[in-house]
């Protein structure tokens, strides 16, 4: 596909054009910096992944074009611990107000802190997704003194910062009809961890406004109030609700941080960020991205990044057994039921301001069908340019191709097989080998990792009452109640098994039996009456095989049950 086509076709290329031009304007010949921010205050979920995936895709396109690009991922692990999530020992409330890196990890975790525990799962997922980035711990930045000059500068210009912030504090709220729709509970939860732990801008007490918040050196919490500051000596005095108070030299003190609405624009200038998206919660009038744009130039001498707003990511059908961990699912949860290229594709094919859902229910089967059709179109050259661009971004990065399944059988087929076999490898291989006898599957490695993803989906997302259990003995009562037409339909099916024992063959057979009974050719086009007869025949087979009216696709089910057992259960 020509580069010109790609540039016209998809949102990633359009942003890359803009970012390259802006990077050259700001710092010709220097690496272009894009950024993300994640707060490890709890599970980092699929909504937060958009915070990373959006700049990743743009950075990767820039690298594909031969430009040097750095994707900075700030771990906001120096944010305060704000609340105890559901399912965690309530005694963790004693740590509220401490930096996330100073809070013990959840019970049973092998990690040294709350922040490290939740970062670890995301780091693993980002690696599997092929996302290249430079991670920055804000705890390390602040406690090492890396931002000391910026902090002193902000304190010196606190009056100017306060004046900028005050424009937004005093703005009249818009009329009710103009207000944005309030976020629902799921959206509020999705906003957590999106790069800003709070929309805090500091507060002006009796001693004036201060954009810096110390963590108390005794209780290690930010329940502090700055009561005095001297610009010349950098002496800062604070008190804490724990009863402690002290005077420190801010030029030497590294136990606190800038408030969020000042911290973010400071980092834009410090890192030279050209592109950083933000969620809906940070993009509304008066919120951190908008206010940061007013602070970054006058105070820190930097530029506001190109910053598209990204929409929320929804979830389709998360099972109770998975969501019991609390909150919405994580990238790691998704990668257990789908391959990395598919998950990348979901983010690549939608513009950042378009919301979409990630399927944990039966919809995942349709999603995989759509993905396989796209792969086929790419292979035969019939794909549209925009779809080709999204596909390319899903399956490879500038560094190379992502791992894929060597023989990608339909996900729904694999799910049906592992459902019926309960994951028994020998039986699974037997059935998969029968799908296409001319080109049999010879080892399960050919169908992995997709097979493993389908098996995990069946085991964690399909309720027990919906699992397929093949009868061990014939339903003699139902068989005995059949009329001559019903018995004939079973005879026709059984007589054709040997000749049609493949996925395509059995598909033709089960659809063809009602046609033959109606005096039609097996390949005749179905009429409305014939469709009714086919549905009745299918329901009969399901009842006799699995004691339900529905189940996995019949050709797959018949292959899975095996000829001998099918004959035993269907012999009228």
More confident residue, 200 or 383: 383
Residue 362 has pLDDT above 50, yes or no: yes
Q: Which residue has the higher pLDDT, 426 or 188?
A: 426
Give 486's pLDDT tier (boundaries 50, 70, 90). very high
Contacts of 431 (CB under 8 A, 6+ apart): 417, 420, 421, 556, 559, 560
242 pLDDT band (50/70/90 cuts)?
very high
Secondary-structure percent of the chain, ordered helix, strand, coil, rounded to 5? 50, 10, 40
pLDDT tens, position by position, 243-275: 999 999 999 999 999 999 999 999 999 999 999
Inter-residue contact 270 to 150 (CB < 8 Å):
yes
pLDDT band at residue 279 using 50, 70 and 90 as cut-offs: confident
Top pLDDT among 78 and 208 is at 78
Topology at the third CATH level for domain 476-570: Arc Repressor Mutant, subunit A (1.10.10)
CA-to-CA distance for 101 and 347, rounded, in angstroms?
30
Mean pLDDT of 543-559: 93
- CB distance 311 to 455 below 8 Å: no
Measured between alpha carbons, how far is 372 from 366 in angstroms, rounded to an integer?
10
Higher pLDDT, 498 or 321: 498
In which band, very low, low, confident or very high, does the pLDDT at 170 lie, cut at 50, 70 and 90? low
- Asked if the domains 3-152+309-399 and 476-570 are classified in one and the same CATH topology, the answer is no
- In the numeric block, the tokens 């029968």 are attached to 434
Q: Is the pLDDT of residue 205 over 80?
A: no
CB 110 within 8 A of CB 104: no
Summarize the confidence of residues 101-124 as an average pLDDT: 96
Q: How far is the C-alpha of 63 from the C-alpha of 47, rounded, in Å?
A: 25
pLDDT at 2: 36
**Long-range interactions of 158-163: CB distance < 8 A, separation 24+:** 158/208, 158/209, 158/210, 158/211, 159/209, 160/298, 160/299, 161/209, 161/211, 161/262, 161/295, 161/299, 162/204, 162/208, 162/209, 162/211
Model pLDDT, residue 334: 96
pLDDT at 572: 64
Name 238's bridge partners: 226, 246
Q: Where are the chain's structural domains?
A: 3-152+309-399, 411-466, 476-570
The interaxial angle of helices 425-435 and 554-561, nearest 10 deg, is 130
Average pLDDT over residues 104-131: 97
Mean pLDDT check: name the lowest of 315-319, 456-460, 549-553: 315-319
pLDDT score for 201: 72
Torsion, Cα 448 453 454 459, to 10 degrees, reads 130
Architecture of domain 3-152+309-399: 3-Layer(aba) Sandwich (3.40)
């Amino acid at each position: 596909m020509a580069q010109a086509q790609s540039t016209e076709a998809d949102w990633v290329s359009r942003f890359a054009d803009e970012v390259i031009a802006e990077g050259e304007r700001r710092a010709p010949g220097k690496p272009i910096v894009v950024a993300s921010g994640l707060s490890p205050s709890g599970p980092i979920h699929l909504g937060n992944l958009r915070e990373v995936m959006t700049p990743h895709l743009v950075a990767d396109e820039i690298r594909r074009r031969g430009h040097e690009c750095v994707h900075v991922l700030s771990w906001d692990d120096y944010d305060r611990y704000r609340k105890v999530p559901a399912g965690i020992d309530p005694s963790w409330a004693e740590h509220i107000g401490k930096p996330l890196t100073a809070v013990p990890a959840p019970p049973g975790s092998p990690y040294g802190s709350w922040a490290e525990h939740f970062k670890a799962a995301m780091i693993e997922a980002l690696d599997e997704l092929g996302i290249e980035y430079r991670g920055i711990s804000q705890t390390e930045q602040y406690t090492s003194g890396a931002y000391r000059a910026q902090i002193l500068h902000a304190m010196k210009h606190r009056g100017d910062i306060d004046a900028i912030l005050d424009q937004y504090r005093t703005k009249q709220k818009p009329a009710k009809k103009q207000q944005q729709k309030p976020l629902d509970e799921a959206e509020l939860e999705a906003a957590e961890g999106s790069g800003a732990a709070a929309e805090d801008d500091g507060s002006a007490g009796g001693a004036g406004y201060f954009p810096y918040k110390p963590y108390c050196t005794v209780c290690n919490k930010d329940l502090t109030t700055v009561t005095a500051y001297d610009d010349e000596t950098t002496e800062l005095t604070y008190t804490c609700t724990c009863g402690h108070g002290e005077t420190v030299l801010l030029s030497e003190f590294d136990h606190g941080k800038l408030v969020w609405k000042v911290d973010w624009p400071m980092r834009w200038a410090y890192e030279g960020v050209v592109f950083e998206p933000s969620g809906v919660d940070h993009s509304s009038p008066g919120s951190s991205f908008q206010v940061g744009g007013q602070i970054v130039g006058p105070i820190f001498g930097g530029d506001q990044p190109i910053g598209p707003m990204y929409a929320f990511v929804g979830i389709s059908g998360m099972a109770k057994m998975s969501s019991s961990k609390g909150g919405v699912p994580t990238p790691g949860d998704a990668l257990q039921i789908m391959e990395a290229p598919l998950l990348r594709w979901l983010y690549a094919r939608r513009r950042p301001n378009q919301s979409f859902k990630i399927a944990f229910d039966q919809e995942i089967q349709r999603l995989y069908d759509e993905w396989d059709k796209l792969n086929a179109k790419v292979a035969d050259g019939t794909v549209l340019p925009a779809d080709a661009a999204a596909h390319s971004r899903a399956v490879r990065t500038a560094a190379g191709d992502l791992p894929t399944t060597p023989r990608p059988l339909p996900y729904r087929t694999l799910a049906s097989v592992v459902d019926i076999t309960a994951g028994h490898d020998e039986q699974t291989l037997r059935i998969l080998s029968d799908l296409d006898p001319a080109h049999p599957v010879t080892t399960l490695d050919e169908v992995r990792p997709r097979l493993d993803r389908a098996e995990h989906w069946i085991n964690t997302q399909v309720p027990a009452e919906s699992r397929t259990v093949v009868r061990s003995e014939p339903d003699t009562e139902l068989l005995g109640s059949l009329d001559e037409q019903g018995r004939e339909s079973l005879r026709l099916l059984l007589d054709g098994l040997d000749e049609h024992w493949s996925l395509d063959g059995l598909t033709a057979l089960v659809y063809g039996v009602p046609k033959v009974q109606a005096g039609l050719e097996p390949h005749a086009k179905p009429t409305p009456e014939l469709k009714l007869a086919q549905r009745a025949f299918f329901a009969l087979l399901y009842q006799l095989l699995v004691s339900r009216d529905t189940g996995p696709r019949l050709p797959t089910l018949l292959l899975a049950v095996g000829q001998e057992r099918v004959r035993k259960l269907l012999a009228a």
